[in-house]
Chain A
């Protein structure tokens, strides 16, 4: 049995994971199961949201026994709730009973056509079944109605990246950057897509957005490497003017020194990452040779 303070700590952990949308399902199941089994009476009104959180985590870990018991508690407390119905649908999805899940979601949508959660679950089913083009089509239709749904824009960008449709992925990321100008991850992902598209113009855009990502978060290593690689490729291109070449060599050299410094600091005193540090040093050296 846990002491009261330990119990409160666990409850706070669950809240933190919930609020920051972590998907550490094994941990949630561990902590949540103990809390619900031993301390349900002390959780107050939090208990219902914890049941929901633990149920979803249980589905993620194939713990249908735990998911089922959480669902029963929620059904008992909220018998006509759409939110609980959606959870029942998710359980069917976990059991790969997609037709039954779809029927459930359709019944929610008949009652309430604006229920975004049910619509998104239907799209997730398409994804799980590998029906990417249908998922993309449905998600586009969804976004025409719910144009501010960030999660949906990001999901769509991922779908497009998987289908190698980089132009459309870039469009989705542009939407995300517009509404989240301080998010360094969107800048960096956009830059990666541009780099992948290739060609001088896209490389220059990539470099600019890698730089922007770094401005927003100077510890984003992907952005730093991305800046280094795009600047180096531009500088090595025979199609650029002498000035552009010089500027990009400067950016590349700056990025290289930052990378070196970061790895020196990371390698300090740690025997185990000497290999990765050496590999980076050699890579930087070899790329210097091709640039000049």
Chain B
């Protein structure tokens, strides 16, 4: 998943992903995860360490091209498996996406019990619903055990749809550009206290003046991204 020094691994997966586009098979498709999406997911899981949390993964790139998760919307930290608020959130995020030229293309979850990062029935159900609308949907589980400072691998496990079930995605097809810079940005958000800016849909319902689209936090993150890197 990290860019290989020799460039060999990357080239091979790129070739395969262009093949996959023409054969309409998404088996070896590359998925890119942006710094913005990663940072907010991480902040969400950190804000509620005792709860299971979930959210939606968004993409602003056109369907059928390379898959890039450009943003995410943190949803719940209570009662993930109850229907009404989940339905409400999906509808509202959908509406917001059509206004902002994005689409829902995945789902993430972090389990309260850190030793078990396997997808729960609720995660599979919601991912299934997303797959009905988006045939390269991904399911991302956050691995709580790897969320400690100085951990050298991204604490994520990704699943994709293969043969009518959700299968583990090959690590080498998950791209996190500038991983070290991304980590530095997340650390910076914690030291500046800006991690507290994150609002999820649950918090929005507790106080509707809070913005679940996180415009303020997004701006802070983009500020941190732009000087160092061209395009993350």
**CB–CB A275/B213 < 8 A:** yes
Question: Please, what's the 1-or-0 string for B186-221, where 1 marks a CB less than 8 Å from any CB in chain A?
Answer: 000000000000000000111011111101100000
Choose among B81, B93, B99, B116 the residue with the greatest number of A CB atoms under 10 Å from its CB.
B81
Tell me whether chain A's interface is mostly helix, strand or loop, or mixed. helix
Say yes or no for A266: interface residue by CB 8 A criterion.
Answer: yes
Q: How far is the CB of B43 from chain A (nearest CB, A)?
A: 15
- Whether B7 is near chain A, meaning CB under 8 Å from some CB there, is no
Assuming the contacts A193-B82, A196-B84, A272-B216, asked whether A278 and B211 have C-beta atoms less than 8 A apart, the reply is no
Is A263 an interface residue, CB under 8 A from the partner? yes
- CB pair A279–B116 under 8 Å, yes or no, is no
> B121 near A: Cβ within 8 Å?
yes
Instruction: Find chain B residues with CB under 8 A from A266 CB.
Output: 208-209
Q: How many chain B residues touch A (Cβ–Cβ < 8 Å)?
A: 33
Instruction: Given A272-B215, A280-B92, check contact A192 B84 (CB 8 Å).
Output: yes
Q: Which of A74-82, A141-149, A222-230 contacts B (4 or more CB under 8 A)?
A: A222-230
> Considering the chains assembled together, what is the distance between the CA atoms of A189 and B85 in angstroms?
11
Interface size on A, residues (CB 8 A): 35
Task: With CB as the reference atom, state the residue of chain B lying closest to A273.
Answer: B211
How many pairs of A and B residues are in contact by the CB < 8 Å rule? 89
Looking at chain B's contact residues, the main secondary structure is helix
Known: A272-B215, A279-B99, A286-B95. A226 touches B209 (CB 8 A): no
Residue of B at shortest CB range from A189? B79
Contact (Cβ within 8 A) A161 B84: no
Task: Give the CA-CA distance A281 to B115 in the complex, in Å.
Answer: 41
Q: Are B211 and A276 in contact (CB under 8 A)?
A: yes
A196 to B122, CA, bound (A): 12
A283 within 8 A of B: yes
Assembled-state Cα–Cα distance A225/B83 (Å) = 12
A167 within 8 A of B: no
Q: Are A283 and B208 in contact (CB under 8 A)?
A: no
B195 to chain A, nearest CB (A): 12
A235 to chain B, nearest CB (A): 16
* A162 / chain B contacts, CB cutoff of 8 Å: 81
The residues of B that contact A195 with a CB separation of less than 8 Å are: 82-84
Asked whether, in the complex, the Cβ of A275 is within 8 Å of the Cβ of B95, the reply is no
> Which of these, B79, B95, B96, B215, contacts A161 with CB under 8 Å?
B79
Contact of A276 among B79, B84, B208 (CB under 8 A): B208
Contact of A279 with B96 at beta-carbon distance under 8 Å, contacts A262-B208, A272-B211, A273-B211 already known: yes
**Chain B proximity of A90: nearest CB distance (Å):** 14
Q: Which of B50, B82, B96, B205 contacts A221 (CB 8 A)?
A: B205
> What would 16 A/B residue contacts be, using CB atoms closer than 8 Å?
A128-B113, A162-B81, A189-B79, A191-B84, A193-B82, A196-B82, A196-B83, A225-B84, A225-B85, A229-B84, A229-B87, A272-B215, A273-B208, A273-B209, A282-B95, A283-B91
Extra contacts, 13 of them, besides A161-B82, A164-B81, A272-B215 (Cβ < 8 A), are A23-B50, A128-B113, A130-B115, A196-B81, A206-B84, A222-B205, A225-B85, A229-B87, A275-B100, A276-B204, A276-B208, A278-B96, A278-B99
